[in-house]
Structure 1
Amino acid sequence: MPRRKDASAVELESLDLGYLALFVGQRVNERVLEDIHAAGFTGLRHAHGYVFQHLLSGPRSISELATLLEVTQQAASKTVAELEGLGYVEKTESEDARVRRVALSARGRAAVEKVRAVREALQKRFERQHGARAVEEARRLLADVLTSLDGAEAVRTRKVRAPR
């Protein structure tokens, strides 16, 4: 008996570029998390990446992180405490004892390197499956669209905000 087509099913080709890019990005991020968790970097969530992006250049105070993340100091402190408990972030020296500064720990930097390696492997997989030229054209198109929407500078300066 033929399989009945679900009337609520979405045809991928009917989606606009924004949704397709969003769904691809979400699925890639899920795969990255699955792979890094399997490699022993447990407890990390997608939202932690927004903290990591601001610690890549060096230590920050909780106040600086809160401002950069556009959250309260309490929210930033809670996330940092979570990452400290998991071993990805550590306290650092501060000239002012009242100011709590944090940085990526060795484990945090290793997690960043693992994420980069997983993303590079996925990129190579896409190139094998779809052709390097097609992947490069898709990347160029998405970069151009991002630029046309005034979103490129936030990416370039590592100031991408968490979704609201």
Structure 2
Amino acid sequence: MIQRKPLPSVIRFNQLLSALTKLNHFSSCLHLFKQMCVIGVPVSEYSMNIAIKCCCQMSRTNDGFALLGCCFRRAVVPDVFTFSTLLDGLVLEDRILEAERLFKKLIKHKLCEPNVVMYSTMIKGLCKFGNNDIAIGLLRLMDERGCEPNVVIYSSLMRCEQ
């Protein structure tokens, strides 16, 4: 694809990145993403999100944050998926305090409106580390903000109480 003239659209590259991710070929996906940047493919929000997800799945969340910086430099606006992925990466790496700080910063500075996936990620992470009271407080915050909890959240809280 990289050698074709004219280059395929970013959509075709995103389809390949997505397929590599579904096959758990995270390092190959990141390699392709880097090649896209080098040859000047105009990466999209979707491309960036896939690359950040790969970093986080490989326990390289700091690299994911570096890619977040690239988003800003390229005028690609991160969305709730971007931040949920980074929060999940921090939780996977047992960095719950950093995840909490990031979550609070997202809300305080209104960088994105948390959705059920983001709340679920945080509640699951808090429960994983025995922060039951904070997890329940987050459930209340969800309710206050009009975000409906799902079965994943309730399951996490039930395991949290045990």
Higher relative contact order (CA 8 A, sep 6+): 1
| Larger fraction in helix | 2
TM-score (normalizing by structure 2): 0.26
Of structures 1 and 2, the larger Rg is shown by 1
TM-score, normalisation: structure 1: 0.26
- Higher strand residue share: 1
